[in-house]
Amino acid sequence: MTMRIEWRNGASTLPDGATLLVAFPGVANLGKVAVDSIGNLHDGVELARLHPIGLPPHAELDEDGLLAPPHYSLRRIDTETGHLLTLTGKAQPNEPGQQSTLADELMTFFHNEGLSTVLVLAGMIDKPDVKETFAVASSSSFRIDMESLGVDVRRDAPRSGAIGLAALLASMGPLYDMNSACVIATTVGNSEDILGSQRLIEHLEDWFNFGLTVPKDGDAWLRQRLEARAPKVKDDLVKEMTASHDAFYM
C-alpha cells in the first residue's frame, strides 16, 4: 500500500461495522458541502488523515496552524443515535490510474477496519425544475435493503454512468464484502449548491435515521454570501436570488 495512514487523537482503529459518508469536490460541490455541514453541526473527532499518492502538491496550514501535506480527513461524527464516519478532502488525483489505485487502497483499508457501508454523496446536473434525491446501489442485496427503508433507489440513472474516485468507491463495495452506494441530488450549477446539499442531508436522515441535525439556514447562508460579495446592492440581489426556494445555485 502506498497510502500512508496517520492516526490522530489517540485513535488506532475505526469503529467496527460503521457507516462511512464520502464526498469529494465535484458537481456543485454538493456532496462535499453536505459532509462539511454534517461535521460542523455535530461533535466529532478526526480519527485519521489518509495520505495517498497523486493529490495536487499543495501543503496547507491546518486548524492547529501547522503545515500539513495534502490528505483526506477521516472523522467520527457523534449523532443523537450513535456514530458515523466521514471522509473528505479538497481534491482527487488527476490521473485515472491513480484514482483506480487509490480506490483500491481505500476500500482495502475500509474492509480491513471492519466498515460495513460506504455511501458516496454527489450531485448530478439536471434541469432547474428537477429537484430529486435518489440512490444507486452496487449490489442487489443492498438495493433491496435500502428500498425496505424507503430509499428512492434508481435502476435507470445516471444513464451515462459516473466517473472519478467517488464513482469507483460507490461501485466497488461487493468486491470488498461491503455495502456501497451513491446518494445523488440533482442540481443546475457548477459552484456550491447550499440548498441542494441541505436537501441531500434531509433525505439521508429521513431514509437512514442517522440522528443527523438537518441544517435549516440555507437561505441565511446564501444571504451572508451575497452581502459579502455585493454589499452595495445586497437587498435587490437577495430578493431576486431567493425569490424561488431552492432555485438559485451559487
C-alpha cell at 248: 438559485
- pLDDT tens-digit readout, 204-220: 999 999 999 987 765 55
Which residues on neighbouring strands pair with residue 77, listed in sequence order? 44, 84
- Can you give the pTM of this predicted structure? 0.86
Which residues on neighbouring strands pair with residue 86, listed in sequence order? 21, 75
Over residues 12-19, mean pLDDT: 96
Which residues on neighbouring strands pair with residue 21, listed in sequence order? 86, 119
List phi, psi (to 5°) of 232. -80, -20
Identity of residue 175: L
List phi, psi (to 5°) of 233. -130, 25
For the chain, helix, strand, coil in percent to 5 are: 35, 25, 40
- pLDDT tens-digit readout, 29-61: 999 999 999 999 999 999 999 999 999 999 999
- Give the SS3 label for residue 105: helix
Strand 117-125 vs strand 19-23: parallel, antiparallel, or unpaired? parallel
Question: What pLDDT score was predicted for residue 220?
Answer: 58
Query: Per-residue DSSP letters for 16-38?
Result: TT-EEEEE-S-GGGHHHHHHHHH
Query: Domain residue spans in the chain?
Result: 4-214, 217-250
Residues of the chain above pLDDT 90, percent: 72
Question: What pLDDT score was predicted for residue 69?
Answer: 97
Between 180 and 216, residue with greater pLDDT: 180
Contact 150, 207 (CB under 8 A): yes
C-alpha cell at 85: 464516519
Nearest 5 degrees, angle CA 52-CA 57-CA 58?
110
List phi, psi (to 5°) of 151. -70, 140
Residues 6+ apart with CB under 8 A from 35: 21, 22, 23, 86, 87, 88, 121
Between 60 and 237, residue with greater pLDDT: 60
159: pLDDT confidence band, cut at 50, 70 and 90? Answer: confident
224: pLDDT confidence band, cut at 50, 70 and 90? Answer: low
Domain 4-214 has CATH 3.40.50.300: no
List phi, psi (to 5°) of 122. -155, 170
Task: For residue 170, give the H/E element and its range.
Answer: helix 165-171
